[in-house]
Amino acid sequence: MKLNLKIWRQKGPNDKGSMVSYPIENIDGDMSFLEMLDILNDQLVEKGDDPVAFDHDCREGICGMCSLYINGEAHGPDRGITTCQLHMRKFNDGDTIYIEPWRAKAFPVIKDLMVDRSAFDRIMAAGGFVSVNTSGNTQDANAIPIPKDDADEAFNAATCIGCGACVASCVNSSAMLFVSAKVSQLALLPQGQIEAMDRVKNMVAVMDEEGFGNCSNTGACEVECPKEISLENIARMNREFLKASFVK
Amino acid sequence: MSKSVLLKSSLAKKYWMALTGLFLCLFLVGHLAGNLQLLKAGEEGRRAFNEYAYFMAHNPVVKILSYLTYISIIFHVIDGFLLFAQNRKARPVKYAHTRPQENSSFASRNMALLGTLILVFIVTHMQNFWYKAKISNGPFPLHTLVKEIDNQEYDPATGAIVNKKQDVKLYLLTNGQYQMIDLEDKDNIELRHNTEIYSKKLDVKVAEGYKDLHSLTTAFFGHDNSKYGFPKNDLATVAVIFYVVSMLVLIFHLWHGFSSAFQSLGLRSKKYAPIIITVGKIFAVVVPVLFAVIPVYLYLTK
Amino acid sequence: MSVLDSKIPAGPIERKWTDYKNKIRLVNPANKRKIDVIVVGTGLAGGSAAATLAELGYNVKAFCFQDSPRRAHSIAAQGGINAAKNYPGDGDSVFRLFYDTIKGGDYRAREANVYRLAEVSANIIDQCVAQGVPFAREYGGLLDNRSFGGAQVSRTFYAKGQTGQQLLLGAYSAMSRQIGKGKIKMYTRYEMQDLVLVDGKARGIIARNLVTGKLERFSAHAVVVGSGGYGNVFFLSTNAMGSNVTAAWRIHKKGAFFANPCYTQIHPTCIPVTGDHQSKLTLMSESLRNDGRIWVPKKMEDAIAIREGRLKPTDIAEADRDYYLERRYPAFGNLVPRDVASRAAKERCDAGFGVNATGEAVYLDFSSAIERYGKEQAMIHHMTDATPEQIYKLGRDLVEAKYGNLFQMYYKITDEDPYVTPMKIYPAVHYTMGGVWVDYNLMTTIKGCYCIGEANFSDHGANRLGASALMQGLADGYFVLPYTIADYLADDIKTGAISTALPEFDEAEKSVRDFSERLMNIKGTKPVDYFHKRLGKAMWNYVGMGRTEEGLKKAITEIQQIRQDFYNDVKIPGTIEELNPELDKALRLSDFLELGELMAMDALNRSESCGGHFREESQTEKGEALRDDDRFAYVAAWEYKGEPSQAVLHKEELKFEVVKLAQRNYE
């Protein structure tokens, strides 16, 4: 298949950047999207051009490193997958494909399609944990029974891979889905409830400081999330925060 | 309660949006209930509506609610603009190509735009009616109730003096009673502050009349109410279209806003989400449609 | 006496670790504040070590090449984590887990290390639950266990098919807590380039800032390398694209011995390669073998017809299918250990029965499981006269509940619906048991330089059992290293901060810079991946599932040739001091090109078959792996001498005091 790629090129954080067209041929439907970019990059290197910088690592949809805003959607047109799991069979011969980096003030572009998502790490460092030392001298794992539904719900929230698609898709660049997934996971478990109030307040405070936008409940994040994290987590965080604001 | 958190945090801003929004939904219901009186035919309707308008303007509870409504609107608007400005700042470089329709509804993404249009509507609407009824000091025709009256009998329902086969003008007294007053009796009667009727001799307020909002409204939407002192509105067609379109905008705003408020307040859960969403959508359509029916009806029945 | 001192404590095996911990030297809290530790890698091992060391009070500097410590490749582990909790009451114990691991490793691991691993395994589960790791639970609210990889007891804890992710996020959250407190200074998008030795001790590293390309110096009193395995030497593997051997290899070049590099685990259930464009392979959880039956056509003409697209697998009659694992290993059937299952698939495909266009795939078929479950469900629902369609539907629903996410993943990648047509699978490189040699303290042959997790060689022998990698990574990081490192650091309480201005740092930085410049100045014609793919092919063909003396010798010359071509013809765009992913790749490949040769040398030296290492010259009449305990019951630790070919072999004899050596038999 023959494609016309329109890729955001930006030399560095301070460069203005622009969309550049790259025609590419002989793309097979079985290739993953990133393999298609690999081919483009090999061609660019052979021509002596600067290859397109993009983040990727595990290429099986779990590390959360790959990003890319493809044809107007985070992780492209398919649902429930990351860019590395997107296959070229989703496109047609002759298609024009727009490839852009995540766009958010809190995710500054490093180069081309690579962005800096360390804001997420800083939010996590503000409270995304249970304050228990790793000594292993805790009580027996089965000492606290947890209802299966709660455990499953916590698991579903915990499957967040921190890719940032929620922020990228959100018309407001809000990080609520990411933050609420962690808040929810720990609020649903007895181990996490002890610090739940401080956690939600501290994480939200850092989230605001980092310059993410405000949630307006559009639900775009849930649709584009490769792990299909539910909007319900955002409601739960709103609840937790409200409670914390009144109590503490 | 940590006050700074409830004012500054992004979540708190959403709480205020949600609370004021839901309150304004309640207001809509109250407003609609009154406005529906406009659909009642004839003098009966005119009186019902004007009585309602009078009640709304004079009941102390309603008064508090109305101040709350003003505050809610102002807060909703200011908070909304603050959020909008922050959200714009959160994405300084826009996407070259984006397909948001794939993941979210038009309404949800454009609440600020829809809200602004609604604000324009509110301002216009208030200028059209509220200002004239409440603020403006210009002469404002009062409601003249025309009744068929039996000879000197009292109407058990209203306590008004009734007189057979005679058109009389009734006004509500300050004590809630009705009294016959001849406004043309310029020697004894004086109209002050538009609606207050004073006895010249005694310099005492003897009665208070309705401002005839019903006639104002029907005239606004095209009725020839010159007999009541309201000239016909030449732009009635434009007004009707504007009002209907505004209600369409309100449908979109509520379509997202209603359930969104519950989400913001953390009141949505897997179990209740479907109910909230369904109720929200019904509310979003029914209330504005009923509002819109009124000008259309009035326009068509002129 | 070997130069290798494993420092295994004396005493009975079940007392060794406890007694040793009781006697080990400690560093008091006030002194810990004066001590810096560098941790390279933030996977299960590195992440848990960094968090624990920081909690204890050391100043930790942690490094990862990804943009966040949460992305290390431990995250991709699917199946679960073993622990000798015996919650199901099915007879598990520390001893059984120890024994199974030694046996599963084909008797090529150290008893004392493995016993310690089994001992601390239960703590890991307690620890993770306390951190909020959402393991699967039963309706009663207690933790659920499953049997995994053919173990006879259910000792595997899991979180759906994302156990690695949940455990890593647990370690990451523990790290985040310390990052928030300032006890861990986190360096993301940094890659270690060299180890700095001062007076023979590890005292720092030179790391490349991958965003600016600049080299930076970091000093510490000890350096811990937890940089993972080296499966990417095969180019195609289930490892992440960035997974590399650089940190481990650079410490090897500075004096750390590299042990058993030839032990490579080839996982039997991966999605087959479709073409040359492929950049990586995707693993399908081993749990699929619990219900899927593996087969190829019995008749050659059917296999050919399938490869040419003239026949579909569903066209092949039951009688014409060869369920070769059930045929060869009736006792274990489809649940034989990974190495056995992988080799059997290769054997069938080499014999010409492979089923996709490349001829390198076998079927994993769920149709009989769907039918069996369907009938079971029909019984449960009292549907005595259920139609075949109803039965299929019931069975399909149950299979979907168990494996739905895996089936979906398969469908997304291959565009084939595994409910309708059997899955195609083929073995792929998955894990490397070999790694940097460490003693009982997890210290390498360099003083003050430790190696943990997959990067070291210690616990899995020649083959790793399913759900044991996560166990080892966390055991090393949470519960072993934090104790043993104190014994070394106790000498450093008066040392004070190490200056990065020492001449040793100058020298190390210069050599790294010179090497980068050398690569940049080649200005050849081929991109880095061209050489990596060539290396991968040579490795897969000669140092893959079946190895021969002839092949290995060929591999050595071929790899040398590829290395030479690489240094003559690689083309790296851009400059050193900028974000340059091609240079990153080239630097990593330069190490793989040396490691590959050492792997072939090690495989050549080990002329027995054991675990993941199968020498075709050493097999039983039935084609099973044949160990040679008399000659090879040792750890092969290689010392770097300038060129891989000059590496010197040191042997650490493996003494089995508890377990009796026996030939593995799954028939």
The model's pLDDT over C189-246, given as tens digits with 9 standing for 90+, comes to 999 999 999 999 999 999 999 999 999 999 999 999 999 999 999 999 999 999 999 9
Shared domain check, C644 and C509: yes
Residue C275 belongs to a domain = yes
Shared domain check, C422 and C276: yes
Shared domain check, C537 and C418: no
Partners of A22 in the β-ladder: A5
Contacts with A231 from chain B: Cβ below 8 Å: 263, 268
d(CA B184, CA B189) in angstroms, rounded, equals 8
Please judge whether A205 and B92 are an interchain contact, meaning their C-beta atoms are less than 8 angstroms apart: no
Answer whether residue B168 shows pLDDT above 70: no
Contact residues, B window 75-134, toward A, CB-based 8 Å cutoff: 83, 86-87, 89-100, 102-105, 108-109, 111
Domain boundary pick from A111, A137, A172: A111
Shared domain check, C514 and C397: no
Answer whether residue B162 shows pLDDT above 80: no
Model pLDDT, residue C402: 81
Give the burial class of B231: count Cβ atoms within 10 A of its Cβ; 0-12 exposed, 13-18 middle, 19 or more buried.
exposed
Nearest CA in chain B to A207: B10
Shared domain check, C417 and C311: yes
Shared domain check, A123 and A101: no
Pick from C636, C527, C539: which is nearest to C574 by CA? C527
Q: Given pLDDT bands bounded at 50, 70 and 90, which one contains residue B178?
A: low
C99 φ/ψ angles, rounded to the nearest 5 degrees: -65, -45
**Among A138-152, B97-111, C71-85, C394-408, where is mean pLDDT lowest?**
C394-408
3-state secondary structure of C270: strand
Contacts with B87 from chain A: Cβ below 8 Å: 171-174, 213-214, 216
| Interface check A64 vs C, CB under 8 A | yes
Model pLDDT, residue B8: 81
- Show the domain range for A225: 117-247
Work out how many domains chain A is built from and give that number: 2
Spatial contact of C42 and C175, defined as CB atoms under 8 Å apart:
yes
Written as one letter, the residue type at A193 is Q
Interface size A-C, in CB pairs within 8 Å, comes to 227
d(CA C587, CA C591) in angstroms, rounded, equals 7
Model pLDDT, residue B67: 93
Residue C303 belongs to a domain = yes
- Show the domain range for C553: 502-653
Please judge whether A232 and B266 are an interchain contact, meaning their C-beta atoms are less than 8 angstroms apart: no
Minimal Cβ distance to A232: which of B102, B259, B270: B270
Minimal Cβ distance to A217: which of B86, B89, B264: B264
Chains in touch with A (≥3 Cβ pairs < 8 A): B, C
Model pLDDT, residue C520: 97
| Interface check C102 vs A, CB under 8 A | no
3-state secondary structure of B22: helix
Mean pLDDT over C635-651 rounds to 96
Residue C277 belongs to a domain = yes
Dihedral sign of CA atoms C147, C148, C149, C151 in order: negative
Pick from C91, C105, C81: which is nearest to C158 by CA? C81
For C146-166, write each residue's pLDDT tens digit. Answer: 888 768 899 999 998 899 999
Shared domain check, C597 and C506: yes
Pick from C457, C421, C413, C460: which is nearest to C439 by CA? C457
Work out how many domains chain C is built from and give that number: 2
Dihedral sign of CA atoms A225, A229, A230, A236 in order: negative
Domain boundary pick from A111, A142, A167: A111
Please judge whether A185 and C162 are an interchain contact, meaning their C-beta atoms are less than 8 angstroms apart: no
Pick from C105, C24, C10, C35: which is nearest to C462 by CA? C105
| Interface check A244 vs C, CB under 8 A | no
d(CA A219, CA A217) in angstroms, rounded, equals 5
CATH of residue A216's domain is: 1.10.1060.10
Shared domain check, A148 and A95: no
Compute the mean pLDDT over every residue in chain C, rounded to the nearest whole number: 94
Shared domain check, C540 and C410: no
To the nearest whole Å, the CA of A101 is away from the closest chain C CA by 15
Model pLDDT, residue B46: 82
To the nearest whole Å, the CA of A192 is away from the closest chain C CA by 7
Q: Is C338 a catalytic residue?
A: yes
Three-state secondary structure readout of C447-480? ECEEECHHHECCCCCCCCCCCCHHHHHHHHHHHH
Give the H/E segment covering residue C513. helix C503-522
Model pLDDT, residue B82: 94
Quick one: tokens of B35?
């406005």
CATH of residue A45's domain is: 3.10.20.30
Model pLDDT, residue B163: 54
d(CA C355, CA C349) in angstroms, rounded, equals 8
How many CB atoms within 10 Å of residue C186?
22
**ipTM score of complex:** 0.97
Q: What percent of chain C has pLDDT over 90?
A: 87
Q: What is the DSSP letter of C9?
A: P
Contacts with A117 from chain C: Cβ below 8 Å: 67-68
Spatial contact of B283 and B224, defined as CB atoms under 8 Å apart:
no
Q: Given pLDDT bands bounded at 50, 70 and 90, which one contains residue C422?
A: very high
To the nearest whole Å, the CA of A71 is away from the closest chain B CA by 6
Please judge whether A126 and C134 are an interchain contact, meaning their C-beta atoms are less than 8 angstroms apart: no
Model pLDDT, residue B4: 62
For B11-51, write each residue's pLDDT tens digit. Answer: 999 999 999 999 999 999 999 999 999 998 877 888 788 88
Model pLDDT, residue C403: 85
Model pLDDT, residue B50: 84
Domain boundary pick from A59, A79, A111: A111
Distances in Å between the alpha carbon of C353 and those of A89, C299, C328, C416?
Answer: 28, 8, 16, 20
Shared domain check, C642 and C527: yes
Shared domain check, A225 and A180: yes
Distances in Å between the alpha carbon of C422 and those of C171, C189, C294, C312, C611?
Answer: 37, 41, 9, 10, 29
Answer whether residue B91 shows pLDDT above 80: yes
Shared domain check, C424 and C509: no
Q: Given pLDDT bands bounded at 50, 70 and 90, which one contains residue B135?
A: confident
Domain boundary pick from C386, C406, C428: C428
Q: What is the DSSP string of C594-611?
A: HHHHHHHHHHHH--S-BT
Q: What percent of chain A has pLDDT over 70?
A: 100
Mean pLDDT over C587-611 rounds to 97
Q: What percent of chain B has pLDDT over 90?
A: 54
Quick one: tokens of A41?
């990059």
Please judge whether A232 and B83 are an interchain contact, meaning their C-beta atoms are less than 8 angstroms apart: no
Domain boundary pick from C428, C445, C479: C428
Shared domain check, A224 and A126: yes
Model pLDDT, residue B142: 75
Q: What is the DSSP string of B220-243?
A: HTT---GGGT----TTHHHHHHHH
Written as one letter, the residue type at C402 is K
Pick from C450, C425, C422: which is nearest to C435 by CA? C450
Q: What is the DSSP letter of B128?
A: I
Mean pLDDT over B104-117 rounds to 96
For C166-175, write each residue's pLDDT tens digit. Answer: 999 999 999 9
C556 φ/ψ angles, rounded to the nearest 5 degrees: -60, -50
Shared domain check, A103 and A11: yes
Please judge whether B90 and A212 are an interchain contact, meaning their C-beta atoms are less than 8 angstroms apart: yes
Shared domain check, A243 and A218: yes
Minimal Cβ distance to B11: which of A72, A73, A241: A241
Model pLDDT, residue B149: 40
To the nearest whole Å, the CA of C523 is away from the closest chain A CA by 10
For B258-300, write each residue's pLDDT tens digit. Answer: 999 999 999 988 889 999 999 999 999 999 999 999 999 999 9
Minimal Cβ distance to C277: which of A12, A39, A127: A39
Is it the case that chain A and chain B have 3 or more CB pairs lying under 8 Å apart?
yes
Give the H/E segment covering residue A44. helix A33-47
| Core vs surface per residue A171-181: b (16+ CB within 10 A) or e | bbbbbbbbbbb
Please judge whether A241 and B102 are an interchain contact, meaning their C-beta atoms are less than 8 angstroms apart: no
| Interface check C534 vs A, CB under 8 A | no
Dihedral sign of CA atoms C513, C515, C521, C525 in order: negative
Residue C289 belongs to a domain = yes
Residue C497 belongs to a domain = no
Shared domain check, C524 and C381: no
Q: What is the DSSP string of C530-568?
A: HHHHHHHHHHHHHSSSSB-HHHHHHHHHHHHHHHHHHHH
Please judge whether A218 and B108 are an interchain contact, meaning their C-beta atoms are less than 8 angstroms apart: yes
β A73-74/A69-70 pair status: antiparallel
Compute the mean pLDDT over every residue in chain A, rounded to the nearest whole number: 95
Q: Given pLDDT bands bounded at 50, 70 and 90, which one contains residue C1?
A: very low
d(CA C611, CA C104) in angstroms, rounded, equals 8
Domain boundary pick from C407, C428, C449: C428
Q: What percent of chain C has pLDDT over 70?
A: 100
Mean pLDDT over C410-419 rounds to 91
Quick one: tokens of C605?
């030296």
| Interface check A63 vs C, CB under 8 A | yes
Answer whether residue B52 shows pLDDT above 90: no
Mean pLDDT over C585-605 rounds to 98
CATH of residue C629's domain is: 1.20.58.100
How many CB atoms within 10 Å of residue C253?
16
Mean pLDDT over A10-28 rounds to 95
Minimal Cβ distance to A214: which of B86, B100, B270: B86
Residue C468 belongs to a domain = no
Model pLDDT, residue B151: 45
Minimal Cβ distance to A124: which of C176, C240, C241: C176
- The terminus-to-terminus CA distance of chain B in angstroms comes to 56
Residues composing chain A: 248
